[in-house]
Amino acid sequence: MPYFYFDYSYLVLIPAMIFALVAQAMVSSAFNKYNNVRTGCSMTGADAARLILDRNGLHHVKIEQIAGNLTDHFDPRTNVIRLSGAVYGSTGIAAVGVAAHEAGHAVQYAEGYGPMKLRSAIIPVTNIGSKLALPIFIIGLLFSYEIAMFGIILFSLTAVFQAVTLPVEFNASRRAMEALDSSARLTSDELRGARKVLSAAALTYVAALASALSQILRLLIIANRRRD
């Protein structure tokens, strides 16, 4: 009779995995729904980003179109907001919300927003930690509990990064909605739709943190099981 072994530590990952799938589905659903609803003023994603940038004196920040789906981001190294094709020239409510969110990041950077500065500062350490964490953890399982714990500490930097990311993303969305509201270009229904898209997107960052925490818990379970 064959012997089958199931690692029950995987069970701690299931809730976070489900949460992540649901969050991603909500983002796709909200974006597709509200990007088919056009703004009455024919504002495009690029227009929305430019409006917010100019109102904050960021005339030097450029806006470019890039390939991909929902690949929108602000690059502080070059002071460029890059918007995907589905956002850049689209007059959909979702596109306006996403573009405004990225402009919110540009404003954060210009103002020296604390959480964004912290996130930028820990990126190099986080990248190194994420690459070394699992190899060190595996070595620790073979030779030393202390080494395994060091690997877990390195992996925990990922959770720290995700935790710092939350206020950065929430604040950018808040700035975006306040700017769109004060512009008086969108109706209350259009603003509500943009807010729903950004709220759904925010869940993906919460899901990323939940996934990192559940992985840390699983590594702790494995390390302590091997120690026993």
Residues catalogued as catalytic: 102
DSSP letter for 10, please.
G
Pairing of strands 80-84, 62-66: parallel
Distance between CA atoms of residues 190 and 196, nearest Å: 10
Phi and psi at 3, nearest 5°, equal -105, 125
DSSP secondary structure letter of residue 106: H
Phi, psi of 145, deg, nearest 5: -60, -35
3-state secondary structure of 90: coil
Please return the burial class of 12, using the count of CB atoms within 10 Å of its CB with bins 0-12, 13-18 and 19+: middle
